[in-house]
Structure 1
Amino acid sequence: MMRQYELVERVQRYKPDVDEALLNKAYVYAMQKHGYQRRASGDPYFSHPLEVAAILTELNLDESTIAAALLHDTIEDTTATRDEIDVLFGPEIGQLVEGLTKLKKLDLVSKKAEQAENLRKLLLAISQDVRVLLVKMADRLHNMRTLHHVPTHKRLRIAEETMDIYAPLAGRMGMQDMRDELEELAFRYINPEAFHTVTERLADLLESNRGVIKEIEGALAELFKAYEVDATVKSRQKKPWSVFRKMETKALSFEQLSDIFGFRVIVDTVDDCYRALGAIHKTWSMVPGRFKDYISTPKQNDYRSIHTTIVGPSRQRVELQIRTHEMDRVAEYGVAAHSLYKDFGSNPNGAGHQISKDTNSYAWLRRTIEALSEGDNPEDFLENTKLELFQDQVFCFTPKGRLIALPRGASPIDFAYAVHTDVGDTCVGAKVNGRIMPLMTELKNGDEVEIIRSKAQVPPAAWESVVVTGKARSAIRRATRNAIRKQYSGLGARILERAFERAGKDYSKEALKPVLHRLARKDVEDVLAAVGRGELSSRDVLHAVYPDYRDERVTQTQKPREEGWFNLRNAAGMLFQIPGRSSRRGRRRKNGDAREEGQNGALPIRGVSGDLPVRFAPEGAVPGDRIVGILQPGSGITIYPIQSPSLTAYDDQSDRWIDVRWDIDENNTERFPARISVTAINEPGSLAEIAQTIASNDANIHNLSMARTAPDFTEMMFDLEVWDLKHLNRLISQLKEAVCVSNARRVNG
């Protein structure tokens, strides 16, 4: 195990004025707190934070980060507290350690939810100080290096979590060396057979190609010497996981891979990068489609380099990366390589700097943090974050030249949400390179995208299945939830208005605010939405606002008829007539009459595209029908024709009956559902003749089922879409006149 002085010496190599006292104090404190704790390997537990600190010294990090690495498990696994660490080491280090502490004692429903919550907290902490990420990555790297000591049943889960989250996160933040090692270690446990096979093949290939590699390195060195470009040439071999992933995704055999070996050209300046590129392309042919300039258009993780593939010496393909020394350092170490520091003037220790947030690496992180603030549930957040982590990128531009980086496969909808959530929510069309294109168009590198907007637009829920970015998916879900909530709250408000009016009480949203605690809702909109969804009865709201109100549920308002009719007001104050001895069908007929008399107090129904959460019963209902609404908890209102036998199921649930009426304007463009039964002669052409009659009457067939009722007859059940009752009756009359039709009738349940 490393000694105190060895750790201090490591930091002194790159920071001669290191605060030795701080490191010594953190070393001793962590060792004492962890005491006799042991790791799965049997080693003292303190060896783990010490190794994490050692990994960070390789990244040349400041002593505050090294101290945080030594202390990173103390709050979680020992008796140490945040307050104690703040007192001993200062709030800066305390904040770093707190950011690394896992969530504990949470009532979470699944391991996936726990993983998502930990990722949430980690990313929020990273947004405040990127050094949290660096310590976390070093922590995960050492855990993966010692994973063979962990019980077998835990290894796969930890390896998959590393492959799913931590390795891609390292890549997103530009830490390619760390990403490569994390992926290789995880690959070893996720698919050990493939790992050993690929590793052996790569070792054999390296041995057999040493001569070719030396030849290419020599040829490039001579070329740069001739063009007076001061350059260093280094060869590299693809990592096992990269090779395996490419074989899997592109269905290639090992022998078909042409880019297992690549060469890196390191120069002093950006000008030298382009001079080196010119020399290479003048000497050897470039492979078309294999040139990328990430210097003029850097990746979001600050990666900058020129990529090209040539047909080089011995006529083999050679993949080249050309970059400066600074670019190479950023490519290997990502955010840890940035030398932009800000002093903490008030830091009592005089130690510690914070890496600047003014880097492209933070662009993705800022978008992810925006998603956190929108309150997505843990599983959605985890899913969306993985989407963002894994995707390759394309680079598109706004008409004003702003660069927007998107995952490969992104559409203009993703682009709109990447610009701003409001732009995505109001998007109705897009121009790609000046031409109006479908919103599902897959964008390509260099596309200029202009979004066409409308304030009246609400993003369709179906968009969620076609977008590829987590931000777009979250925003669409949120907009859909808000639209549904708005519908339910509107319905709830109308129900409460009528309930209070029937009770002779004044209704207002202000009156609901003082009683929210009684209704167990956090705001008025929650109350309205709950009433609209049927989760909260209007009677409960009425009694919460007016505790002394007495609701006389059944009142006799007229002399009994010979059939014994009584009026009943439901919880929403809606009027119903209950028969004494009459049949249910008679009750509903009179019920319909009563409703027609009181139409002005009923909820207006325009169809499924109106402003209320409405759907129709299976048998349908059309303008002209007498209708009734049944409140379905969680689904809004289901509209039935008053004569539907299905209503018998709700005879004893009066509080679910809602008074409704049609409110269709002359310019209506929406059809309504109706079901008809047609008994036809069983002969060729019957169905075609019936379908032609339906089409010629401007009706639409939505669904069809058929059953043989007799040897010579078939009953056909049509679900149609028609304009209104007159339209439906006219259609049924014409069907009855058809030669092949024995009978046609409307089905009411």
Structure 2
Amino acid sequence: MYTIEELALTLSQYLPYEQVSKVKRAYYYAEQAHDGQRRKSGEPYVTHPLAVAEILSELRMDCDGLTAALLHDVIEDTGISREALTEQFGEGVAGLVDGVSKLTHLEFNSQIEKQAHNFQKMAMAMADDIRVILVKLADRLHNMRTLDAMPAHKKRRIARETLDIYAPIANRLGMYNVRVDLESLAFQAYYPMRARMLQRAIHKKYGQQRIKDTQKLEDTIRSELAADYIEASISVREKHIYSIYQKMDKKRRSLDEIMDVMGVRIVTDRHDSCYRILGVIHALFKPIEGRFKDYIAVPKSNGYQSLHTTVLGTNGIPMEVQIRTEEMDLVANNGIAAHWAYKVGGTSSMPSNHDRATKWVKSLLEIQQKARNPVEFVDNVKSDLFPDEVYVFTPNGQIIELPSGATPVDFAYGVHTEIGNTCISCRINRRLAPLSTQLESGQTVEIITAKNAQPNVAWLSFAITGKARTNIRHYLKDKQRENAISIGHRLLTRSLNAFKTNIEELTTEQISQVLATHQLSSLDDLLESIGKGRHVGYLVARELFPNIDEDTLITPKSFKVNGSEGMLISYAKCCAPIPGDPIVGYVQVDKGIIIHHLNCPNVQDHLSNPERFIHMSWGKEIEEELHISLIVTYINERGAVAKIASSISDTDFQVSNLDIIERGRVSRLRLNITISSRVGLADVMRRIKAVRCVEKVSRETIVGR
């Protein structure tokens, strides 16, 4: 059994004597606090926090982090207060213990809402102090190592949440060794039979000659490097089992098709030696095309740096070769934890990894603040937790890291929120491209912005980063509220005109009474509710003036459509009204005002709610683009459809669809077209009518559908 003296011996290699003494004092404090408590395995409970501290000592964690690891269950399980810990070990340690305690009993079960809420708590704890999640990861790792003591159903649940949450976080923080251990243990616990079968298959395929081949391979590479006077350490490894399983599962491949089951890691002392070693490896083995990646020049988002190349080994089996410096190796294995190793050593040559992690956690907070609910938060974070990165450049050469499948919209928000909110188009490698284009590594992306531009709801169908999606939703939500308040103000003003008054003349008592009736907190909330159709302007006006005789009311003015009302005024697709048509508005809950043609048969369906109808008229200078359908009757001769389409091809009118609805000697087609006025419609109809084979052109009515 591991003892406190063994831990103290390890810590004395990198911590001063007084700090080691503080850690030992924390152990004896925890031992006394947990006295009488035992784990499921029957061991004294204090063996668990001691094991967690041991894991963190391998990562060269600082004094406060180790102290918090030893005390991490004290508040939760022993009744000792945070104040008592503060008095004994200081506010820094007490804050860490409190942060870890809040995460100790998170249960990521099948209840999506609960899982999302708990993950949100974890993000908040990480934001307070990143060491909280490091202690939690070490805690989870030791629990996974002792999982056999748990009942079967708990083993599966803990293994599943480890694969879904903790291993991806370890990966995002660059902690390779912790991630691999968590994934391997969780895979064996969740899929025990698959793990055994895959292990047997790997051993059968590679195991017979593995030791001899490994030694021979190491000797070959070592002698070649020595001939070029390059110093390096070489290790041959087998890819960990869960990684092999994931590739087989996701790519639907057999074990024979997995290219990099065997791997070689070469660690050298200098940066330039990495590229010299790459040359030696490519001279020694045949490289496989398209399998080289330079993560030294362009590090991964978690700070990982290395050269990767896949070559054909001496036995014809593909193997991945990783080449890096000792400094890069420390970061590759320990990720953010390497920050404390350098901090303790008194140098600051590798602070960027800690900065990257801090930046990521801050981005989580930004997403959390703008997300409408915990489920949306987790949905938006998933792409950041499972990054398969592409690296693109700004026009001035700055590298932006994005997940695979990202688009220029994701890039724009990655540069700055305001650039994302005002982007209208983009250039990729100096050529104009759609905002929905999926980006590839190495491209240069330039975002074109406009002062009055705003996010489009359609962007949500192709934006994939959490930051982009959260900001788009947040902006649209705010814009929708702004539009709803504006429309609600106009609707209530129109209704109050019938009472010969306006909103500004209402008393505080009148407003407060109506707000209380509908359980709303402000006048803006009431106006928003009216604009969204949840409350009717006329009925609210009646509530404000309950004692007025209806016979004395005057008819309210018509509601003018100007074409700039935003997303809460729309045009009914059934009758597609255009400027000049007689129109009526119907206020629909959460959709705002739907504008129908006055003679639209669908309007009759709503007569049971007359208070939701609004008399409407067109503004003088409306420039709204409207969609209508024309029915064209024509003689079916050769090239007739082409002649009809070309008759309007040189105009500004857009044809969105052309559909033949009746074939025969005399045929009919439906032409969906975008126009902005009756004059435009008349021009289109005149042009089509001028085609020799056309007999009749008319607007489609709902009866005709």
In which range does the TM-score fall when normalised by the shorter chain? 0.7 to 0.9
Give the distance between the partners of 2:431 and 2:627, measured in 1 at CA: 37
What's 1:350 paired with?
none
2:466 is equivalent to residue 490 of structure 1: no
Query: Among 502, 507, 511, which residue is 2:503 paired with?
Result: 507
Question: Shift of the alpha carbon at 1:24?
Answer: 4.4
Question: Shift of the alpha carbon at 1:180?
Answer: 0.7
Q: Deviation digits for residues 381-410 of structure 1, max 9, x if unmatched?
A: 112212111121121111122111111222
SS at match of 1:659: strand
Question: Shift of the alpha carbon at 1:136?
Answer: 1.0
Distance verdict in 2 for CA 1:439–1:211, change over 3 Å: same
Query: Contact 1:340/1:356 (CA < 8 Å) preserved in 2?
Result: no
Give the distance between the partners of 1:415 and 1:458, measured in 2 at CA: 16
What's 1:302 paired with?
303
1:330 is aligned with what amino acid? V
Q: Deviation digits for residues 171-227 of structure 1, max 9, x if unmatched?
A: 111100111111112222343332222211223313323222211100111112212
2:153 is equivalent to residue 138 of structure 1: no
What's 2:617 paired with?
661
1:507-586 equivalences under 5 Å are 507-508=503-504, 515=512, 518=516, 520-521=519-520, 525-538=524-537, 549-552=545-548, 554-555=550-551, 575=556
What's 1:629 paired with?
585
Question: Shift of the alpha carbon at 1:543?
Answer: 8.3
Greater mean alpha carbon deviation, residues 201-210 or residues 283-292: 283-292
2:425 is equivalent to residue 429 of structure 1: yes
Greater mean alpha carbon deviation, residues 529-538 or residues 209-218: 529-538
Query: Contact 2:387/2:404 (CA < 8 Å) preserved in 1?
Result: yes
Query: Contact 1:619/1:675 (CA < 8 Å) preserved in 2?
Result: no
What's 2:367 paired with?
371
SS at match of 1:614: strand
Query: Contact 1:49/1:69 (CA < 8 Å) preserved in 2?
Result: yes
Query: Among 421, 432, 438, which residue is 1:442 paired with?
Result: 438
Distance verdict in 2 for CA 1:512–1:218, change over 3 Å: farther
1:131-530 equivalences under 5 Å are 131-204=131-204, 205-311=206-312, 313=314, 317-339=318-340, 359-508=355-504, 515=512, 518=516, 520-521=519-520, 525-530=524-529
2:23 is aligned with what amino acid? L
2:80 is aligned with what amino acid? A
What's 2:112 paired with?
112
Query: Contact 1:165/1:386 (CA < 8 Å) preserved in 2?
Result: no
Give the distance between the partners of 1:431 and 1:744, measured in 2 at CA: 40
Distance verdict in 2 for CA 1:261–1:110, change over 3 Å: closer
Give the distance between the partners of 1:284 and 1:719, measured in 2 at CA: 62
Query: Contact 1:484/1:613 (CA < 8 Å) preserved in 2?
Result: no
Query: Contact 1:300/1:363 (CA < 8 Å) preserved in 2?
Result: no
Give the distance between the partners of 1:26 and 1:229, measured in 2 at CA: 46
Query: Contact 1:673/1:721 (CA < 8 Å) preserved in 2?
Result: yes
Distance verdict in 2 for CA 1:86–1:534, change over 3 Å: farther
Greater mean alpha carbon deviation, residues 311-320 or residues 404-413: 311-320
Q: Deviation digits for residues 38-65 of structure 1, max 9, x if unmatched?
A: 5444544444333222221222212321
SS at match of 1:102: helix
Q: Deviation digits for residues 548-587 of structure 1, max 9, x if unmatched?
A: x44526215xxxxxxxxxxx77xxxx64xxxxxxxxxxxx
Query: Contact 1:11/1:18 (CA < 8 Å) preserved in 2?
Result: no
SS at match of 2:426: strand
What's 1:594 paired with?
none
2:294 is aligned with what amino acid? D
SS at match of 2:322: strand
Greater mean alpha carbon deviation, residues 273-282 or residues 94-103: 273-282
What's 1:68 paired with?
68
Question: Shift of the alpha carbon at 1:608?
Answer: 9.1
Q: Deviation digits for residues 494-534 of structure 1, max 9, x if unmatched?
A: 12332344434453599889949746445554333212112
2:86 is aligned with what amino acid? D
Query: Contact 2:109/2:115 (CA < 8 Å) preserved in 1?
Result: no
Distance verdict in 2 for CA 1:424–1:287, change over 3 Å: same
Give the distance between the partners of 2:685 and 2:380, measured in 1 at CA: 50
Distance verdict in 2 for CA 1:71–1:229, change over 3 Å: same
Query: Contact 1:302/1:359 (CA < 8 Å) preserved in 2?
Result: no
Distance verdict in 2 for CA 1:294–1:739, change over 3 Å: closer
What's 2:102 paired with?
102
| Residue-pair matches, total | 686
Distance verdict in 2 for CA 1:206–1:364, change over 3 Å: farther
Query: Contact 1:130/1:355 (CA < 8 Å) preserved in 2?
Result: no
Greater mean alpha carbon deviation, residues 77-86 or residues 371-380: 77-86
Distance verdict in 2 for CA 1:517–1:63, change over 3 Å: farther
Question: Shift of the alpha carbon at 1:292?
Answer: 2.4
Question: Shift of the alpha carbon at 1:132?
Answer: 1.0
Greater mean alpha carbon deviation, residues 649-658 or residues 126-135: 649-658
Distance verdict in 2 for CA 1:522–1:238, change over 3 Å: farther
Distance verdict in 2 for CA 1:745–1:355, change over 3 Å: closer
SS at match of 1:631: strand
2:67 is aligned with what amino acid? A
1:1-12 equivalences under 5 Å are 2-12=2-12
Q: Deviation digits for residues 580-609 of structure 1, max 9, x if unmatched?
A: xxxxxxxxxxxxxxxxxxxxx332224598
Query: Contact 2:371/2:470 (CA < 8 Å) preserved in 1?
Result: no
Query: Contact 1:674/1:720 (CA < 8 Å) preserved in 2?
Result: yes
Distance verdict in 2 for CA 1:632–1:462, change over 3 Å: same
Distance verdict in 2 for CA 1:740–1:690, change over 3 Å: farther
What's 2:626 paired with?
671
Query: Contact 1:396/1:404 (CA < 8 Å) preserved in 2?
Result: yes
Give the distance between the partners of 1:690 and 1:281, measured in 2 at CA: 61
Q: Deviation digits for residues 416-440 of structure 1, max 9, x if unmatched?
A: 1111121112222222222222323
2:56 is aligned with what amino acid? L
Structure 2 segments unaligned to the other structure (5+ residues): 345-349
What's 1:84 paired with?
84
Q: Deviation digits for residues 443-469 of structure 1, max 9, x if unmatched?
A: 222222111112232222222121232
1:532 is aligned with what amino acid? G
2:451 is aligned with what amino acid? K
Query: Contact 1:620/1:673 (CA < 8 Å) preserved in 2?
Result: yes
1:396 is aligned with what amino acid? V
1:507 is aligned with what amino acid? I
SS at match of 1:299: coil
Question: Shift of the alpha carbon at 1:492?
Answer: 1.0
Query: Contact 2:309/2:321 (CA < 8 Å) preserved in 1?
Result: yes
Distance verdict in 2 for CA 1:3–1:208, change over 3 Å: closer
Give the distance between the partners of 2:391 and 2:352, measured in 1 at CA: 25
Give the distance between the partners of 2:673 and 2:288, measured in 1 at CA: 59
Query: Contact 1:103/1:117 (CA < 8 Å) preserved in 2?
Result: no
SS at match of 2:355: coil
Greater mean alpha carbon deviation, residues 61-70 or residues 478-487: 478-487
Distance verdict in 2 for CA 1:286–1:746, change over 3 Å: closer
Distance verdict in 2 for CA 1:69–1:111, change over 3 Å: farther
SS at match of 1:335: helix
Distance verdict in 2 for CA 1:47–1:738, change over 3 Å: same
Give the distance between the partners of 1:109 and 1:286, measured in 2 at CA: 45
RMSD, matched Cα: 4.3
Question: Shift of the alpha carbon at 1:10?
Answer: 4.0
